[in-house]
Amino acid sequence: MSSSILATGTAVPPHKMSQSEALAMFQDFACVNDRQRRLAKVLFDRAQVDNRFTFVPHQSAYQWCLDEQTPPQKITTGGKLTKAPNSIPQVVAGASRGLSTGQRMRLYDLYASDLAIASAKQAIANSDRSTGDITHLVTVSCTGFASPGVDINLIQRLSLSSTVQRVNVGFMGCHGAVNGIRTAMNIANADPTAVVLVCCVELCSLHCRFQWGPDDNERIIGNALFGDGSAALIIANTNGLQNGETSDWNIIDTGSVLIDDSQASLRWDIGDHGFEMILSSDIGDRIESALSNWLSQWLQQRDLSLAEIDFWAVHPGGPKIISSVQSSLNLSEQQLSVSLDVLRRYGNMSSPTVLFILEEFRKAISKSTARSTTDPRHALVVAFGPGMVAEIALLNTSSKHNVET
């Protein structure tokens, strides 16, 4: 049995924040002296992010500094913030920790489903299937909790069958999309009639830090990197494709490795004022020392080598992660250019990010006019998450999309 990705959909929220705006906001909130302001600028410049998208106008966070105990009435009544406040209040740097985790979760419940539905609608529209064909739903998220939540809203607002079977992949971090693909692959491989909707949605900006404590250097990096986004896939058994139906990618296999002595290198903790991402300075060394040998052996067991991977969808957790993967696997800048471009345009969106990269590859392939009768071309999705764990998915192009390099 084998399974295929029939279509992809992506979505970002409507509010765009430049890196210079993100830096200015963080300096206003958290930097209590000139030294911190200078260091913040260095960290934000190194992030290689130009823009990211947020579920509310970023200026709203200034009001949250003032209303952390009694949040704006719009949040508690269900009204949505669709435009920046008329005037930006003055805040005292370091004085506020921002909204509580409970308040941030209410915002997640208020906004996450809209974003997930937008990407799911696009994936369904890009496929040859209808909402009535979907038999299973896999939701992926690590930035919020609500029950009933995104899965139920997808079923109700997309008019999916009430008998759709659900799986939630929760709190797995940036490699969550690979776990979503693995879950859908196993469902589709076991049932030739299954059609699985996978939806990854993250509101990373919910967890921006408002303070910079003496031991917080490894916790504030997320402010320079993270944005909001969603991506969805339609996955089905390859043998169950309808007449004339084609796929974007065939799913060959997935893999996973727990990197030794790395639990402190990448963490995602629940704090009283949001979830706390910790990226330690040794994360690159851990990746470089562990990735190459394991991945080479894993590919060799499938009669492939690193040199035979045509598309590298490496999750851009940050420039350090990208450069470490490049060094470990001896990849060129060109091979990682799409990952860096997605980071630059959207920031790190956590789990949906690698699916944005796959979508860019699909667009490039579909635009090519060259055709070939050679073997399908291979793509490898590589992502890292708390543990530290490397997760991978091996794909290849369908015969429709075989193109010359």
Q: Which residues are catalytic?
A: 174
| Pair 224, 43: CB distance under 8 Å | yes
Q: For residue 56, give the DSSP letter.
A: S
| Pair 256, 181: CB distance under 8 Å | no
Structure tokens at 192: 């030739």
* Strand duo 249-258 + 3-11: pairing: antiparallel
Residue 384 phi/psi, 5° resolution? -125, 150
Kindly write down the DSSP assignment for every residue of 338-401, as one continuous string.
HHHHHHHHH-B-STTHHHHHHHHHHHHHHH------SPPPEEEEEEEETTTEEEEEEEEE-GGG
Residue 271 phi/psi, 5° resolution? -105, 180
> Which residues are registered as beta bridge partners of 168?
139
Question: What is the rounded CA–CA span in Å between residue 290 and residue 260?
Answer: 8
* Strand duo 136-141 + 249-258: pairing: unpaired
DSSP E strand stretches across 116-265: 136-141, 165-170, 195-203, 228-237, 249-258
| Pair 72, 164: CB distance under 8 Å | no
Residue 23 phi/psi, 5° resolution? -65, -45
Structure tokens at 93: 């740097």
| Pair 180, 173: CB distance under 8 Å | no
Question: What type of residue is 144?
Answer: G
Q: For residue 80, give the DSSP letter.
A: -
Q: CB-based contacts of 26: which residues, under 8 Å, 6+ apart?
A: 40, 44, 208, 220, 223, 224
